[in-house]
Amino acid sequence: MVSGVFLALLLHHMDMKRMLRTMGSEHWHDMALAALCMVASLSIRAGRWHSMLKPFAPTLPLLKCAESFFIGMGANVVLPFRLGDVLRGTVMASRLKVKAVACMTTVILEKLLDLLVVLLIGGLALMLLPKESHAKLFDASGFLIAGGALGVMGFLCFARFFRRPVMAALSWASQRWLQDRSSGNGAGLLTQLEGRLVAAAVHVFDALDAVGQPIRFMKLLVLTVLSWGFEAMAFWLVAIGMPALQNATAAWLAMPVAALSTALPGTPGSIGTLDFFVEKVMFVLDNSRNASTAYAFLVHATILAVPLALALAGIFHASLRHEHLPPIKVHQDMAIMGRDALQMGDEDPNKPD
């Protein structure tokens, strides 16, 4: 439904034949280069995820991690609400032999790093791209967005220092809760619940520790900048390959807006929502509505086709090793996470993996 609404708004009063002719005028070698840039972007992100998981699984092979990453990204294309990220943090955790809580935490930290760099690129694009009108508004917006990126960076750098106060507060609150409510056979269950919560918090802060260390954080930040730089290049290559676009540099702002639009609840692959916002950015920055819409559909097709192809390649490569991938079903994801939580409840929370 969400997709249909945005597509209807996008195609309202659109000359379909003219738009298709505009899409047909695209230089396809530029689209091929854009696809290669997307392959590079996703490959770098797979390497970044492997680096984030290394503290929890030192012997984890890079190729196996990359396969899981590509399959999760492909699932984002075919499942709504970006459930591929949830599957990657739950089902794939068992395949990679990493605790589900730790694995899901790394996925969330990935998203924070992505948000940081996307906001930085968007803020810089707003301030640096040539504007014919409302220049002061664009500059002020860019400054505020870049400030938000610095806030995300501060959280990632300093959140790990809250381990002791948070763990102490959690222990105190759980003890008070146990004293007030435990009686008879329920005491054991409440104690087990406390153990699970503490163990989950330990895994979360272990991930924050791994990311927050200065050298590791800079490495992850560099990889994130490179990955999104390649994705921005893909947007720009599609733009310069379309003769009907008057301002191809608008693609540098369309990329971060497209990335942020995927946060909206929507259909698989953000069909409709991403196209709508990309078209609006291109149109506001002095391109015709027809060319902006054609560009939105072409660049979206490119960034959807690449993760699907990589996911299929990952599945095929796993099948060559006669490895059975976990079934991709949401209710099983939740069951696996619950199983891992039960296992963690029986462990010493202060004992490292």
Q: Which two tokens stand for residue 271?
A: 């069909």
Structure token digits, residue 21 = 């002719």
pLDDT score at 60:
92
- The encoded tokens of residue 282 equal 């291109």
DSSP 138-149: HHHHHHHHHHHH
Tell me the CA distances in angstroms from 21 to 33, 290, 296, one per residue in order. 21, 10, 14
Confidence (pLDDT) at 301:
95
Structure tokens at 121: 């690129």
What's the pLDDT score for residue 262? 84
Give the three-state DSSP class for 64: helix
Cα(39)–Cα(153) distance, rounded to whole angstroms? 26
In this structure, which amino acid lies at residue 54? K
pLDDT reported for residue 342: 41
Q: How many Cβ atoms from other residues are within 10 Å of residue 183's Cβ?
A: 8
Measured from the Cβ of residue 201, the count of other Cβ atoms closer than 10 Å reads 17
Q: For the chain, give the longest Cα–Cα distance.
A: 76
* Successive 10-residue mean pLDDT values, the chain, 353 residues: 80 85 93 97 96 90 94 91 88 87 86 85 72 52 64 70 73 65 52 63 68 78 94 97 94 91 78 92 91 95 96 89 57 45 43 44
Tell me which residue of 269, 285, 233 sits closest to 121, measured CA to CA.
Answer: 233
Contacts of the segment 347-351: beta carbons below 8 A, 24+ positions apart: 347/195, 347/199, 349/195, 349/198, 349/199, 349/201, 349/202, 350/202
State the residue for tokens 């990952």: 314
Output Rg (C-alpha) for the chain, integer angstroms.
23
The pair of three-digit structure tokens given for residue 195, joined into one six-digit string: 């153990």
Distance CA 112, CA 254 (A): 20
Please report the pLDDT score of residue 145 as a whole number. Answer: 66
